[in-house]
Amino acid sequence: MKLKINLLGFCLLTGCLFTGLFFNLAIGASVNPCVLDSAQWTYQVTKFNSDGKPQIVGTVLQKLVPNPNPNPNLNKNITSDNNQFPYALTSSMGVKFFMMSDTIQENSTGYISNQNGVVSEAYGAGDSKGYKKVSVSIDPPYQGKIRVLVNNNGKKKILSLPALSPLGDNLNIILSLRWALIQSALNHQDSPKRFMHMVISNNAQGELMPMPYVFLKQENENNNHHNGATSSLKTALGVLKTVEYTRYDNVADEQDYYWFAVDKNYLPVKITSEKKNSVVSSLDINTYTPANGCVVMVKK
């Protein structure tokens, strides 16, 4: 039985589809301009057997920092508001299941802007066995078009797409929703009930192409996961106030649930996947370590 690992964008490698809040206010204190901090964090990966018994099969290490070598051309074309922030997001997942062990690496670079959200510049993925290798390069919009260069295990393709909306990738899609939640908080608005982002991802035939990822906010007091707009979630970091979103995975025919911690810049702290009302896999936050620098800052 294969381990389902698409919860944070790892399904490119398996052929399935599947990744005090900001203003530290105090009497006489100034506004902290950092709204998305540099950090690294880890998840515990759990697979649930057919009998419902959990089995810990690995860990995930993710790191988000400002990109030290941003693409200057993308910087000029991304937005007209001159308020963009280059990011670098990496992920490493080590799994051991039965006699199989592997390490899957992913990386995503691009920009975060107030106007366009999270925009991908490049995405790459590969495993330690050398069996799978994916790379995606997204050019800045030009004359109403976006050119996407795709290399999926040696099969190269060039896509020319209408520049209707920013494109994401399998790793930064969760960062895109996280940024939308941060923006809502900064603007003193409720978190969005529906979030949609176009992502370069695998379709049912295993081809890389733009696909809509739709997330719905869970506010039904009668559902099994959530009670109201926010809930308290017990984690390795303590009890956290969270907001929950769900996405239906059409390729895997599964439902994925995401919990974002309100007081940690909406860090995703738990992700589960269900099929036929049974949990099949889960990623649970284990550690969180701030790093030097700030990914996104607001002007005072």
Q: Is-contact 170 106, C-beta < 8 A? A: yes
Three-class secondary structure of residue 74 per DSSP: helix
Would you call 191 helix, strand, or coil by DSSP? Answer: coil
Task: Read off the tokens for 31.
Answer: 């506004």
Taking the C-alpha atoms of residue 268 and residue 285, their distance in angstroms, rounded to an integer, is: 8
Task: Identify which of 126, 171, 118 has the alpha carbon closest to the alpha carbon of residue 153.
Answer: 126
Domain ranges of the chain: 6-297
Q: Which helix (H) or strand (E) holds 218?
A: none
Q: What is the chain's pLDDT, residue by residue, as a tens digit (300 residues)?
A: 344 444 334 443 333 333 333 333 333 344 557 899 999 999 999 999 888 899 999 999 999 999 988 776 654 444 444 578 999 999 999 988 777 788 999 999 999 988 889 989 999 999 887 777 899 998 877 777 888 998 988 889 898 888 777 789 999 999 999 999 999 999 999 999 999 998 988 777 777 888 889 999 987 544 455 444 578 999 999 999 999 999 988 777 789 999 999 999 999 999 999 988 889 999 999 999 999 889 998 765
